[in-house]
Amino acid sequence: MSLVVWSDKFSVGVKSIDDQHSVLFNAINDLHAAMLKGQARSVVGPLLHKLVDYTREHFTAEEAMMETAKYPSLDAHRIKHKELTKHVEEYVIRFESGDITLSIQLSNFLSDWLTKHIQSTDQEYGPWLNEHGVR
């Protein structure tokens, strides 16, 4: 069972960003499924690192588009990205130190953050990017 399901309500109106968000949803679901199955650290660890790496790549791409379009709230958006990155890095440290209690906390945190972030903050930049030629 998926933790988060991509739908059009999450669309920001920019295909490449929507595609990246969909990949993030799938990565969170893969991580969640592995944690629920109690799969060994050898499975969960690489999935967690893959999610962190892809999130960084996504933030870089998203911010580059906003910069190109001179999005006026880019600085505030960058701060939110840095905050999430810091939280996820803290979870990675906990995971690597053997904290087995974080599985559900991490899954819930990631799914809540992603869905709320897309439906609020990211929804704000979509129209701006569209008006400035980014689709």
47-75 per-position pLDDT tens digit: 788 888 998 999 999 999 999 999 999 99
Q: Note the pLDDT tens digit of each residue in 102-130.
A: 777 888 888 898 899 899 999 999 999 99
**Ordered DSSP codes for 2-18:** -SS---GGG--S-HHHH
Average pLDDT over residues 14-31: 91
C-beta of residue 111 within 8 angstroms of C-beta of residue 33: no
- The 8-class DSSP code of residue 121 comes to I
Average pLDDT over residues 38-53: 78
Smallest Cα–Cα separation from 100: which of 28, 40, 47?
Answer: 40
The percent of residues above 70 in pLDDT, for the chain, comes to 96
Identify the architecture of domain 14-129 in CATH.
Up-down Bundle (1.20)
Distance CA 42, CA 128 (A): 42
Judged against a pLDDT cut of 90, whether residue 89 lies above it is answered with no
The percent of residues above 90 in pLDDT, for the chain, comes to 50
Q: Three-state DSSP class for 125?
A: helix
C-beta of residue 26 within 8 angstroms of C-beta of residue 47: no
φ and ψ of 18, to 5 deg:
-60, -40
Q: Please, what is the average pLDDT of the chain?
A: 88
Q: What is the pTM of this model?
A: 0.88
Helix (H) or strand (E) holding 101: none
Domain boundaries, the chain: 14-129
